[in-house]
């Protein structure tokens, strides 16, 4: 179940309904199941994980519907897609969601989010200098986490990757 306020869920549904109507597309329960599952997920999820979660929840939805619906949600800016290295694309909710950036461990693939207001300030300054309207940005920093629980760190160090 989503941790988001019901008002926000209702707004997301209204945006998606209007988007589908404008394009003459059907407003199927399956499309809204995909939308709801994305917004119930606080983390990043790939399309196959989303499909499995829906199936485990007893929902009758095809893998093609999941992929096609994610494309529609991207187009109407309700989700954002990230490509972290060579891994499969990950999706996360985008409506009224705080801007953040990512640290990605090359050993364990752990994904950590962070927010620094200085990045927003730099973005605004660059936009002013170049007279450019920035719609969104993506900053992904790749490296090796130094946490003890990193399960692949010792193997990576043995191979000389650290």
Question: Where do the domains of the chain lie, and which CATH numbers do they carry?
Answer: 1-96 (1.10.10.10), 98-162 (3.30.1490.190)
**CA gap 32, 150 in Å, rounded:** 37
pLDDT at residue number 53: 94
pLDDT at residue number 98: 63
pLDDT at residue number 80: 86
pLDDT at residue number 1: 47
pLDDT at residue number 38: 93
pLDDT at residue number 78: 93
Q: What is the mean pLDDT of each run of 10 residues along the chain (162 residues)?
A: 77 96 96 94 89 94 96 93 78 76 80 81 92 82 81 57 46
Contacts 24+ apart (CB under 8 A), 24-31: 25/72, 30/59, 30/60, 30/61, 30/62, 30/65, 30/69, 31/65, 31/69, 31/72
């Amino acid at each position: 179940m989503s941790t988001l306020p019901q008002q926000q869920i209702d707004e997301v549904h209204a945006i998606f309904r209007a988007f589908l109507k404008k394009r003459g597309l059907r407003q199927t329960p399956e499309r809204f199941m995909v939308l709801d599952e994305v917004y119930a997920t606080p983390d990043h999820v790939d399309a196959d994980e989303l499909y499995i979660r829906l199936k485990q929840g007893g929902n009758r939805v095809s893998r093609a519907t999941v992929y096609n619906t994610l494309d529609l949600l991207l187009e109407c800016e309700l989700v954002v897609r990230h490509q972290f290295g060579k891994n499969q694309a990950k999706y996360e909710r985008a409506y009224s969601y705080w801007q953040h950036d990512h640290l990605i461990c090359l050993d364990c693939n752990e994904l950590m989010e962070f927010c620094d207001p200085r990045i927003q300030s730099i973005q605004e300054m660059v936009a002013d200098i170049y007279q450019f309207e920035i719609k969104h940005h993506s900053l992904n920093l790749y490296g090796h986490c130094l946490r003890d629980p990193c399960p692949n760190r010792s193997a990576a160090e043995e191979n000389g990757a650290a």
